[in-house]
Amino acid sequence: MGWASGGNIFDPVARSLIECGADDTTKRKALGTLIDALRDADWDTEGESLCEFYGDPAVVQAFRDNGIIRYCNVNDGALWCEKEWGHKGDHWDSSGTTWPGMEPPDA
């Protein structure tokens, strides 16, 4: 069973770093370390926090560094695109199927 409370720790820390004007390197390193620790504690709602801070490239990169991305999820019937949100080009799923389509809307 996963731990859904990680966002209650991550989100205020991320907000504080942003509000105090931390540089991108500091945000990426500090939040990357926090993400790693929370995942070790079985954090399973990290995607919600990623979406909340998707407008901050350093925060997004901290998640990417830990293997967490926001998926495109544009669908075509039973197919769901598994590329990262905002990708260019064809959609793709893990079975190797590709298909053209609309780009996902802005975040």
The residue-averaged pLDDT of 83-105 equals 80
Would strands 98-99 and 91-92 be described as parallel, antiparallel, or unpaired? antiparallel
pLDDT for 106 equals 54
Cα-Cα end-to-end distance for the chain: 30
Indicate yes or no: pTM above 0.85. Answer: no
Cα 16 to Cα 9, 13, 19, 28, 53, distances in angstroms: 11, 5, 5, 13, 12
Answer whether residue 107 shows pLDDT above 50. no
More confident residue, 104 or 82: 82
Per residue in 94-104, pLDDT (tens digit) is 888 888 866 55
Whether the pLDDT of residue 37 is over 80: the answer is yes
Q: Can you tell me the distance from the alpha carbon of 7 to that of 47, in angstroms, rounded to the nearest whole number?
A: 9
